[in-house]
Amino acid sequence: MHPAVMHPARSGGAWPRSVAPAGSTLGDSGDRRRAGEDEMSITDDDLETTTAAIAKLEGIEPSGDIGEFNARKLTFGPDKAVIGPVAHLAAERIRLTALEWEHFEVRQVGATLGGIVKGLDLSEPLADEVIDELHRAWVDYKVLFFRDQELTAEQHIDFARRFGELEVHPFLRNNDDRPELVRFAKDADTGGYENGWHHDVTWREVPSKGAILRAIEVPETGGDTLFCDMNAAYEGLSDDLKDRIEGLVAEHDYMQAFGHTITGADAAMMREKYPVVEHPVVIHHPISGKPLLYVNRFFTTRIVGLEPAESDDLLVTLFAQANTLEYHCRLHWHPNSIAMWDNLAVQHYASSDYWPDIRVMERASIVGVRPTF
């Protein structure tokens, strides 16, 4: 629990006593909590239901629960695309808006994920209490962004190690001097092939907890990285689909993404070292406890126990949840920008729209724990 704010998911549904208007705008130097006079205060009477709190903030009359509100959505086109407010995001959006921090500021980026952190110099050793608070912010916002952080490779590794042991990727090119850093160097001869929604390394028995990606050289336009909140993706599923996938497990394999890069004896050795693994289709975050949709187009190959056609159809439906724009936030890179994402809570997508320009990034990934139901 953070100072001056309660976590609804962990405190019986209680909401903070004062919340800034959801539509308020911040300048880089602004702070929602410091704009006091124009804020609307939520009283105890407003805490009875989430929709009452939302209605007060938005200046509208409450009208039933979120399920009733969602039932009034529209469907357009032959594919019956659902059109209308994505109401299930509101509670988390308001919760994030209310968070306050002692050692730094965070400007919220997306509805339910993404925060730009200001007030820290990552090239300097940070006190333990700052790291602890930053870790809590990481769990809350799922992905954190930092600007103007001039780090050496060594400082990048030192910062990442404050959050756990670092892994070495067996297939991707590493920094020549520091194998803990994966180096993504793109140019006219080496295009970007990360433009699909995915969690990293789910083909590992223990996938990474998170990753810290640093921009070294980036194009003026293009090359953004997008992130998708997989708790929002799960909560957006129909009750019938949630029931259908409860308890299911899926196979994850590196072959589709990396199989073409290894041959002969190396291929046999890698297959023995990294066999096909199974993870739950829906996992729970080890800290927040939130359910997360945990299948991805790069590495998830089939759902165990289903016929191939049924497995494929279900995976297509589940993969498509990451396409919902309301679940996203997006980072346009500048040199010395850093993104730090929770690899369980979000999927990411590196836009490959900058060819033939140069884009050079380095990533440190932190060892996690095995995903569980």
The catalytic position among 198, 199, 214, 285 is 198
pLDDT digits (tens, 9 = 90+) for 278-325: 999 999 999 999 999 999 999 999 999 999 999 999 999 999 999 999
pLDDT digits (tens, 9 = 90+) for 98-134: 999 999 999 999 999 999 999 999 999 999 999 999 9
CATH 3.60.130.10 boundaries in the chain: 101-373
Task: Determine the pLDDT at residue 55.
Answer: 54
The reported pLDDT for the residue numbered 36 is 36
Told to judge if 2 belongs to the known catalytic residues of this protein, a careful annotator would answer no
Cis peptide before 356 (omega within 30 of 0): yes
Alpha helices in 21-108 (DSSP H): 50-58, 66-70, 90-98
Query: Where would I find the beta strands (DSSP E) of 230-327?
Result: 249-252, 277-280, 282-284, 291-293, 300-303
The one catalytic residue in 88, 297, 302, 363 is: 363
Segments in the chain below pLDDT 50: 1-48, 62-63
| Catalytically annotated residue among 156, 302, 348, 359 | 348
Instruction: Identify whether 200 is a catalytic site residue.
Output: yes
The one catalytic residue in 200, 229, 253, 342 is 200
- Please confirm, yes or no, whether 348 is among the known catalytic residues: yes
Query: With contact defined as beta carbons under 8 Å apart, do 111 and 92 qualify?
Result: yes
* Whether 72 is catalytic: no
Gyration radius of the chain's alpha carbons: 21
Predicted TM-score (pTM) of this structure = 0.83
One of 3.20.20.70, 3.40.50.300, 3.60.130.10, 3.30.420.40 is the CATH number of 101-373, namely 3.60.130.10
